[in-house]
Amino acid sequence: MSRRALLVVALVLAVFGLMGGAPAAAHGIGGRTDLPLPAWQLAWAAGFSVASSFVALGVFWSQPRLQAAASGRVLIDLRQPGIRILEVAAKLAGVVVFGVVIYAGWSGNPNGAVNIAGDALLIWFWVGLQMVAFLVGDVWRAFNPYPTIADSAAWVWAKLRGEELASIDAERKPTLWPAVAAIFAYLWFELAYHSTDSPRAIAWFLTVYSLAMLGGAVVKGRGWVRTADGFAVLFATLAAMAPLFRDDAGQLRRRVPLSGLSRLPDVAGTVPFVLVVLGSTTFDGFTRSSLWLDIGGDRVGWSRTLTSTLGLVVVGGLVGMVYSIAISAMAAITEEEPAVLSRVFGPTLVPIAAAYAVAHYFSLLVLDGQRMFIRISDPFGRGWDLFGTADYTIDWTLVSPAVIAWVQTLGIAIGHVFAVAAAHDVAISRWNHALAVRSQYPMLAVMVLYTVLGLFLLLGA
């Protein structure tokens, strides 16, 4: 059979697998016990699609392609005066919005149902910017208030001392371990803390987080905040999948989606960072399962926080253990060091993190996210109507349960297929084709496992 025919067969099987798992009502809409199809059938279909894609890649993708495509083509020079003005405006807007959210948390209405802080942080910032990052690019880089505040403080301090502003100082050995701690702190707050939607709790979190970021900049230098801010690192990592990016020369470029993963910096802490994010979304899905409801469904207050913290750590540890086992198996096949392979293949997990973000939070963004139209007219919950949108009502029919289910199912399946493709590209850039394919059997098993487990948890099975 010709290669073209094999590709057609593989694609048909993959599509058939997905169609066989037609969408089921899932996360955020309706119940989980009245699915049109059994959860196992949907999970099998997605897993089969991932496996089929592996077969097609093994047959037709015999040369590395992503790294060569990562440089892309120049679209526009961002160093032009007009664009520089827009960049300054964006930085100022980021500081202002950050200030509004902090003020709303501390001084606004303590009722989270009428305060902008919860929706701004938990929906539009956390969920919305993740999706913008991997679909478009690292937009947050233009608005992030922490580098702006750190740079401004350094400039003022230099002027007071009559000195020139030093260039951004980089550590001799850059590390993302502070970002690992920072993003875990947020994930703990979001998934384990018992009063996440409280404006005062949000204010406390943002204040402590900000002090940690800016305090670190004082001690380590203003360049430190750029690798310690967990949010900035996450959005930049996800943006490696995006078609647009800004290069070191200040030019906006377009590239083949996914190709940027091949050029993610090999910095200490990168793999743990990705695994922490993956573990958190896995735990988020696990909290919707009947098993978790039996464990901690009726717990409240700090008892709930303690139980959820333990669950977050255990599930995250299990995700990391599964990845380590796959890397060890790959090392046995290729006779390379597991630590080296772990760093090399770590970025290939990023598409899974993006897939889980879509699957878990898509309906939250498009439905609950509509509350922002109300909140912007009354950000502090004081009965204002600044923009005439205070009477806006959420359209719960904006997207149907079927559309949400299709987005979730395809998101998980496509995300894992992208992860398989990225891992395959890395493999064939290191070894001959036959060894590269064999080396990916353990990773394929992990991808299928993540796919099946992710869908089972998503559907509350």
Q: What is the mean pLDDT of residues 279-295?
A: 84
CA distance to 241, 274, 315, 316, 411, per residue, from 322 (Å): 24, 14, 11, 10, 22
- Report the pLDDT value the prediction gives residue 12, as an integer from 0 to 100: 41
Confidence grade of residue 19 (pLDDT, cut at 50, 70, 90): very low
Cα–Cα distance between 210 and 127 in angstroms, integer?
Answer: 20
- Report the pLDDT value the prediction gives residue 33, as an integer from 0 to 100: 39
Higher pLDDT, 26 or 160: 160
- For residue 329, pLDDT over 80 is answered with yes
Cα–Cα distance between 420 and 50 in angstroms, integer?
Answer: 8
- For residue 414, pLDDT over 80 is answered with yes
82: tokens are 């007009």
- For residue 232, pLDDT over 90 is answered with yes
Which residues touch 165 (CB under 8 Å, ≥6 apart)?
154, 155, 158
Lowest mean pLDDT among 58-72, 98-112, 194-208, 283-297: 283-297
- For residue 58, pLDDT over 90 is answered with no
Q: What is the mean pLDDT of residues 317-342?
A: 94
> Containing H/E element for 34?
none
Q: Are 256 and 265 in contact (CB under 8 A)?
A: no
- Report the pLDDT value the prediction gives residue 454, as an integer from 0 to 100: 72
Confidence grade of residue 37 (pLDDT, cut at 50, 70, 90): low
- For residue 385, pLDDT over 80 is answered with yes
Q: Are 134 and 354 in contact (CB under 8 A)?
A: yes
- For residue 31, pLDDT over 50 is answered with no
pTM for the structure as a whole: 0.88
- Residue 4, classified by CB atoms within 10 Å of its CB into exposed (0-12), middle (13-18) or buried (19+), is exposed
- Report the pLDDT value the prediction gives residue 311, as an integer from 0 to 100: 94
DSSP state letters, 387-433? TS-TT----TTSS-HHHHHHHHHHHHHHHHHHHHHHHHHHHHHHS-H
218-229 tens-digit pLDDT: 888 888 888 999
Share of residues in the chain with pLDDT > 70 (%): 87
Nearest one of 363, 343, 340, 359 to 351, comparing CA atoms: 359
Q: Are 398 and 366 in contact (CB under 8 A)?
A: yes
Backbone angles phi, psi at 217, to 5 degrees: -65, -35
Mean pLDDT of the chain: 85
Which residues touch 327 (CB under 8 Å, ≥6 apart)?
338, 341, 342, 345, 442
405: tokens are 């289910």
- For residue 435, pLDDT over 80 is answered with yes
- For residue 6, pLDDT over 50 is answered with no
Cα–Cα distance between 422 and 428 in angstroms, integer?
Answer: 10
- For residue 11, pLDDT over 50 is answered with no
195: tokens are 């009063």
Lowest mean pLDDT among 160-169, 171-180, 306-315, 370-379: 160-169
Q: Specify which of 199-208, 403-412, 452-461 reaches the highest per-range mean pLDDT.
A: 199-208
- For residue 405, pLDDT over 80 is answered with no
Q: What is the mean pLDDT of residues 390-414?
A: 85
